Structure 1
Amino acid sequence: MINVEVYRGLPVTEQAVEIVERKGTGHPDQMCDSIMEAISVALARTYLKEFGVILHYNIDKCLLAAGRVEKRFGGGRVLEPMELTIGDRATYSAFGKELPIREIAVEAAQTWLRENLRRVDPTNHIQYRVKLAPGSEELSDIFRRPGDVRCANDTSAAVGYYPLSPTELTVLAVEHELNSAAFKRLFPETGEDVKVMGLRRGNTLDLTVAMPLLAERIESEKEYFDRKQKIYAALKVFLSEQSGFSEFGIGFNTLDQPGRGLGGVYLSLLGTSAEDADSGQVGRGNRVNGIIPMGRPIGTEAAAGKNPMSHVGKIYNVLAHRLARAICERFEGVRGAYVLLLSRIGEPIDQPLMASAQLILEKGVAPEPVARRVEEMMAAEFAGINAFCLALANGAFSIC
């Protein structure tokens, strides 16, 4: 069932206060989401290569337990490695052939770590605990049932929206900038564990940014605060050029306190707080559009690692945002959209129990003609859902 109506609430950009968060590449929660999604893509590709079809799996349970390090100005050492638990369900064999699931999972995790965290040695700094078991008979049977479209393996709801607000875009842009290759070349002493919290009050943006400096590149407390000031200045320039906010404030590593030595500075040996301070878990990080928006409706499903052919907790989460964007870009007079999708377990994923779109229209736009066209577009998108799912399986869409 498809329902299209006019949005009756106050757009977030017109509200007095807006709060948006972004957890960056080296944040423990973001690491878990990214690694599980990398494993999901690796498994999907393996199943397609070996069997021509994606089989049952859900790699959406993960815990990154923090390790222990000894830090000092100028360096340090790892005392105890981090531990990554990779859990839930996977198909180990089909059509008489066994697959090395554990090895595929660990290799995908190590590849992601190697490509995204400069200081983390994926072999020596992390231990791997793989707890993947075959799925239940009923959920595995979904992949043996006839039909071109898989059945939903859960009763689940998801919500998406478009466009992102200026606050959301700025928070996202700041983290991307701080973790960009160009910024790391300019400031190689910065780690990847970036967290950005944005608070908009009226037309003023206030950012709180956390990002460690690498111990081996900082020889003293004085050098730490000198480098911190240079990084702050660069961030201020970036915001003045990119954010669109004429008034903004920045708090950078606000726990710091001069005169307290190692206790008053944010140093990291490996570039992530998972080395000794903070553990991580799937589902506690960014939503599939890359941010954590406090003033928007958000779902509770963790999309990372879920099966891209049957698990609506992933499929509908990503699809809801893409549908909202398509509505805004294709139909004149629509300046914003919310899309809510609901599945029922056992029903084909191209036949949601409810697909609801709420439209924010320009003044004077008649809602009925737009609603009819949006309904037709949404029906067409669901008719082609298999192609979308295969692209999702291949990692075509960022989900965190």
Structure 2
Amino acid sequence: MIYIHKKESSEPEYEFVERKGLGHPDTLSDALAEFLSVNYSNYTLKNFGAVLHHNFDKVGLLGGASFVKFGEGYLTKPIRVLINGRASTKFGDKNIPVEDLLKSWASEFLLNKFRNLIKESDLEIHYNLSTQSSPGKTEDFKSTNTPRKFWFEPRNFDDLPEIKKLFSNDTSLGVGYAPYSKLEKLVLDIEETLNSEIFKKDHQWIGSDIKIMGTRHDQQFGVTLCIPQIANYVHSVDEYKQNLEQAKQVIFKISQNIGINNLELSCNTRDNLETKELYLTAIGSSIESGDEGLVGRGNRVNGIISPTRLMSMEGACGKNPVYHIGKIYYVAAHEISKKIFEKFGIANEVSLISQSGRDLLDPWKTFVSLYNSDSSDMNQEEQVRIFVENELKNIPEITKDLLGHKLRLF
């Protein structure tokens, strides 16, 4: 059932938006979980013809320890990787070297993110996977031969019921909205610019664990952020200060390009220049020194944390990309909302609510809120309804986009 609601929208008096940068431990955990899921999915698709059951949405990272001074930085204790979750370990009579694959992919991921890590001494990988299925199987005679009992050790395609018909694995929801507000765009643009390869090419000192909080009260915009610097490229307090000034000038330019000319900007507010307690790091992330990261604690699937907007606390990264509602519906809601705005020019919100076991392409409830649309145009409402119905049928395309690295979830 699709419900269309038309609402009058007035800009709230205030909003606040956060983004945890690519090197933040929570974002790293999200990205690693998704990297493992995509690689595992493509591996089983290539070798067995289907994406086998798995979920890596409980992956975690535990911080190591580091030595840092101007001009020098290195790890003294390793970063610990917790590979948690579940995965199919065989298909038919063929075993899958899941542990070796996941450990190799996890090392590849982190070594690519932090080029100066040493695999042997700076990474410690803990493998904690299970092959137990969720509640539902019993030991009664009639249920001992059902797919649920062989969920993570499928005998053949008959033990992969989603191949015949997609169904919701859980009762959950996905929500999305479009377009971004001016503040949301500002926060995203700042982090994506400072963490871009283009910027880093000329500013090797900048780390990736950039955390941004943006606020707006009426038309007064404020941003406070933390920017790490990599010790090997920073040789004095003066260089450190100059680097921050360079970053600030870039941020002011981004702000002006968006149409914000009254930005209140604060940077590295915890720094103490007298005692030299600074955000100086060995690899550019707090994961090097005691901080921890977990899937689902960071950015939502649209790249930000926006508590004053429609959002869900579901951790999407690492979930099965074929049928897991906590991933598929969350991505679908944002994609549908974005397309509604692009096609009809209407700001909107989309909510998809599932029932466990229900046809995945037929959500239990679908709510679409249209803001500032023409309330007298009933034809427009019907056009949106038909558009959403067609988009729901295209949900399987999301799986292809996820496996093709075409969608960012963090």
Q: Calculate the TM-score normalised by the size of structure 1.
A: 0.93
Match for 2:366 among 355, 363, 369? 355
Deviations 1:7-45 (A, max 9, x none): 35x45xx11111011111100000000010000100110
Residue 145 of structure 2: aligned partner: none
Q: 1:330 to 1:231 in 2, by over 3 A?
A: closer
Q: Secondary structure at the match of 2:383?
A: helix
**Following TM superposition, by how much is the alpha carbon of 1:319 offset from its aligned partner in structure 2, in angstroms?**
0.3
Residue 141 of structure 2: aligned partner: none
Count residues with an aligned counterpart: 391
Partners of 1:385 and 1:168 lie apart in 2 by 26
Q: Secondary structure at the match of 2:127?
A: strand
Residue 195 of structure 1: aligned partner: 211
Residue 143 of structure 2: aligned partner: none
Residue 91 of structure 1: aligned partner: 88
Partners of 1:163 and 1:95 lie apart in 2 by 47
Q: Does 1:289 align with 2:286?
A: no
**Following TM superposition, by how much is the alpha carbon of 1:316 offset from its aligned partner in structure 2, in angstroms?**
0.2
Partners of 2:163 and 2:97 lie apart in 1 by 29
Match for 1:81 among 78, 82, 105? 78
Equivalent residues in 2 for 1:235-314, closer than 5 Å: 235-240=251-256, 242-261=257-276, 263=277, 265-314=278-327
Residue 176 of structure 1: aligned partner: 192
Residue 316 of structure 1: aligned partner: 329
**Following TM superposition, by how much is the alpha carbon of 1:146 offset from its aligned partner in structure 2, in angstroms?**
6.9
Match for 2:405 among 392, 395, 400? 395
Amino acid at match of 2:407: F
**Following TM superposition, by how much is the alpha carbon of 1:147 offset from its aligned partner in structure 2, in angstroms?**
5.9
**Following TM superposition, by how much is the alpha carbon of 1:223 offset from its aligned partner in structure 2, in angstroms?**
2.7
8 Å CA contact retained: 1:6, 1:367: no
8 Å CA contact retained: 1:56, 1:135: no
Q: Secondary structure at the match of 1:287?
A: coil
Partners of 1:277 and 1:71 lie apart in 2 by 14
Match for 2:107 among 87, 92, 110? 110
Partners of 1:344 and 1:83 lie apart in 2 by 37
Partners of 2:100 and 2:163 lie apart in 1 by 32
The gaps in structure 1 that reach 5 residues or longer are: none
Deviates further, 210-219 or 16-25: 210-219
Deviates further, 365-374 or 66-75: 365-374
8 Å CA contact retained: 1:149, 1:386: no
What is the identity percentage for the equivalent residue pairs of Structure 1 and Structure 2? 31
Partners of 1:85 and 1:129 lie apart in 2 by 5
Deviations 1:206-265 (A, max 9, x none): 11111111112222223322332233233323333x23212112111111122112x2x1
Partners of 1:91 and 1:206 lie apart in 2 by 48
Deviations 1:280-317 (A, max 9, x none): 11001100000111210211210000001110000000
TM-align CA RMSD: 1.9
Partners of 2:238 and 2:87 lie apart in 1 by 51
**Following TM superposition, by how much is the alpha carbon of 1:365 offset from its aligned partner in structure 2, in angstroms?**
4.8
Match for 2:126 among 111, 129, 147? 129
Partners of 1:380 and 1:243 lie apart in 2 by 34
Q: 1:143 to 1:200 in 2, by over 3 A?
A: farther
Q: Does 1:337 align with 2:353?
A: no
**Following TM superposition, by how much is the alpha carbon of 1:157 offset from its aligned partner in structure 2, in angstroms?**
1.1
8 Å CA contact retained: 1:37, 1:305: yes
Q: Calculate the TM-score normalised by the size of structure 2.
A: 0.90
Partners of 1:384 and 1:230 lie apart in 2 by 45
Partners of 1:29 and 1:46 lie apart in 2 by 26
Partners of 2:64 and 2:159 lie apart in 1 by 39
Q: 1:299 to 1:58 in 2, by over 3 A?
A: same
8 Å CA contact retained: 1:45, 1:394: no
Residue 373 of structure 1: aligned partner: 383
**Following TM superposition, by how much is the alpha carbon of 1:63 offset from its aligned partner in structure 2, in angstroms?**
1.5
8 Å CA contact retained: 1:149, 1:350: no
Moved over 6 A (4+): none
The gaps in structure 2 that reach 5 residues or longer are: 138-147
Partners of 2:381 and 2:159 lie apart in 1 by 35
Partners of 2:123 and 2:22 lie apart in 1 by 17
8 Å CA contact retained: 2:107, 2:123: no
Q: Does 1:164 align with 2:198?
A: no
Deviations 1:97-126 (A, max 9, x none): 111112222232233323333443455322
